[in-house]
Structure 1
């Protein structure tokens, strides 16, 4: 099954196949969202560690190697690689959006200079690459990224990272609302569970973005 027929939601069952995507390299950028140390930390509680084991398996076995390879291909082709990360500007996190202050798992307090707020070494920015810091789920809403992309002449944003159903989804929707053409790379993203990941892809596909595999994206861009 190709990207043209995969990940169809209820609303798009039986809809015509989309046209081929035209992604001019000069108008395209790769956006890597929130692949930070905090997400790779294993739980001390054995029950929680077991519950999160599928996520960590996907990160190590799928997302990280695929995104590493995609970053390398984009850099070799001279296509911009951009990074976004969650980090608060004040030590007490008062500058965070409400969604990041709510009690529970999403209550992330990560000042700029903490180890857990850093992008993981395997996917770290190279010198000269843009890194935006956000205190919101969306990498567009909480930063100057929209202006930066527009100034650079970027029209196509290739989105990757974590979590598919949270910060990735919020960013995809924000980009679409600003009329960027969005491509979401399914094997360079992850959610807490594979079911959450797949469900969100179906929700986003064909209205907010086009969901493709990294292999399909390489073919579209003529990448090695």
Structure 2
């Protein structure tokens, strides 16, 4: 579990990796890209819980004060160095959402109708894609399943994928697992991600760390990247 102030190699270790020797992280800048997942207008406008102290207070506070500012830092860093930035967003191609995968049709939180041409499905203004930045539209949790993102990453020579966005325990995790299965070297930026609760966020990071990805915070990632410049 997370231990504030500790090195990334010691944080979010699950039972399986308690005694594992974690290697140093090396990123080839020419083969590294940033993937921002599902940071869309809908998640900043939903009225399920309007109270600041309600069920979604943690998520709203974390997004406003931690996640979005850190994603801005990441996109700025990558753009300034002409390193590719990719975006994934949930959006259906049909008005009634009939093209969505089963996971996005089930009753409950995931059942959000987001036609691709509606403002609610667009990436938020703070980090909106620039011209020539790739945006994939998905009707699944994973940004690789049902899109051509894998082919795009391979065509552009990307091997290391830095992942951030929402939700840690759903679309972020699903995408990370898919990337790992396709043999992409994946890094998740824990303070540029959020889940509905802190417990869900931390637990999912513990599950995926060291097997599907390495979990770092923004400062640690930037330190690694700066060493490669």
Same fold (TM over 0.5): yes
Aligned to 1:88: 92
SS, match of residue 54 in structure 2: helix
Aligned to 1:15: 20
Aligned to 1:4: 9
SS, match of residue 11 in structure 2: coil
The answer as to whether partners of 2:51 and 2:57 remain within 8 angstroms in 1 is: no
SS, match of residue 89 in structure 2: strand
Give 5+ residue unaligned stretches, structure 2.
Answer: 1-5
Aligned to 1:174: 178
Report deviation, 1:42: 4.4
Report deviation, 1:45: 4.7
1:203 matched to 2:207: yes
Give 5+ residue unaligned stretches, structure 1.
Answer: none
Deviations 1:80-127 (A, max 9, x none): 000000000011111110100111110121101111101110111011
Aligned to 2:3: none
Deviations 1:27-78 (A, max 9, x none): 0000000000111114265469711011000000000001101100111111
Give the count of matched residue pairs: 223
TM-score by length of 2: 0.94
Aligned to 1:62: 66
1:183 matched to 2:187: yes
1:37 alignment partner, one of 35, 41, 55 = 41
1:212 matched to 2:216: yes
Name segments (4+ residues, structure 1) moved above 3 Å: 44-49
The answer as to whether partners of 2:74 and 2:218 remain within 8 angstroms in 1 is: yes
Aligned to 1:75: 79
| Separation (CA, whole Å) in 2 of partners of 1:42 and 1:133 | 20
